[in-house]
Amino acid sequence: MQRAHGRQPDALRPVDIVPNYLDFAEGSALITWGKTRVLCTATVVEQVPSFKLQSGEGWVTAEYAMLPRSTPTRQPREGLSGRRGRSQEIQRLIGRSLRAVVDLKSLGEYTVILDCDVLQADGGTRTAAITGAFVALCLALESWQRRGALESFPVRDRLAAVSVGLVEGQLLLDLDYEEDSRAQVDATFVGTGRGELVEVQVSGEGHSFPASLLDDMLGLARQGLAQLQRLQDEALKLWVPLPW
C-alpha cells in the first residue's frame, strides 16, 4: 500500500524533540511526531502518595489531556464534559511505563508528575506522550540532582513507545490517524534501551489474528524504538550526563 509522503512500511514519521521548552517547569519537552504535537512537563513535589509514606521510596505519575482544537473539530474540555475514560487509561499507561525505568528508592520521597498535553493529534498521541515524557522526566531529575536533592540520577534506562499495525494486509510502523482508522490489528509497544518490554497492548479490530503475527510486529517495533531512543539521547545529551 502507498503511505502518505511515500513513507516506507518500516519508517517513522519525522520526529523532533525540543528539550526544556518551557521556562518554569523542572523539566519539559515538546515532541512533534508527524502532525502530532505533545507538550510534556515534569514537576517534582516534596511529598508522596499516602501508600508510599515512610517507605523511603518516591513515585512517578502522569496526567494526559487533549486540547479542544487538537483535532479537526473542537472537542469540549475533558474537565468540563466529564469525558475522561480514555485519558485516564492513557495517563495510567504513561505513569506505569515511566516507573519501570526509575529507581523509586533512589528517587527518595519525592513525586514526579508528568503532564502530557496534546496540542495536535494525528495518531500516536500516547506513544508521543510516553517518548516525550521520558525526556521531560530526565531533565527534571537532573536539575533536582544538581541542586543536591538527589544523591544519584534515578533513571536506569531509556524508555520510548511506538505503534505497529496491520493495514490492508501489510504491517506498518508508526500509524498516523488515517492508517490507524483502517487497521485490522493495532498495537502499542513500550520498550527500554536494553530491548526489554514494559507493556504491549494489541487488539484485533473486529477480527482475530494469528499469534505468529506478534513476532513480526515486535521486530518492527524494536526498529522504531531504537530510532526513538537515539533521538531522545540527542535531545538530552547537552543537558544530562547520560548514564546508559
**CATH code assigned at 48:** 3.30.230.70
Is the Cα dihedral 5, 221, 92, 178 positive or negative?
positive
The pTM of this model reads: 0.96
> Is 130 inside a domain boundary?
yes
Domain range for 141 is: 7-156+227-236
> Is 1 inside a domain boundary?
no
Q: What is the pLDDT of residue 83?
A: 54
Q: How many CB atoms lie within 10 A of CB 61?
A: 16
Proportion of the chain in helix, strand, coil states, percent, rounded to 5: 30, 30, 40
Whole-angstrom distance, CA of residue 106 vs CA of residue 155: 9
Q: What is the pLDDT of residue 4?
A: 83
> Is 150 inside a domain boundary?
yes
> Is 212 inside a domain boundary?
no
Q: Report how far apart the first and last C-alpha atoms of the chain are (Å, whole number).
A: 38
Whole-angstrom distance, CA of residue 87 vs CA of residue 77: 12
HSE, side-chain direction, 13 A CA sphere, residue 73:
0
If 0-12 CB within 10 Å is exposed, 13-18 middle and 19+ buried, where does residue 186 land?
A: buried
Q: What is the pLDDT of residue 84?
A: 67
Q: What is the pLDDT of residue 194?
A: 96
> Is 175 inside a domain boundary?
no
Q: What is the pLDDT of residue 187?
A: 97
For the chain, the domain total comes to 1
Q: What is the mean pLDDT of each run of 10 residues along the chain (244 residues)?
A: 88 98 98 98 97 95 96 85 77 98 97 98 97 98 95 97 96 96 96 97 91 96 98 96 88
> Is 198 inside a domain boundary?
no
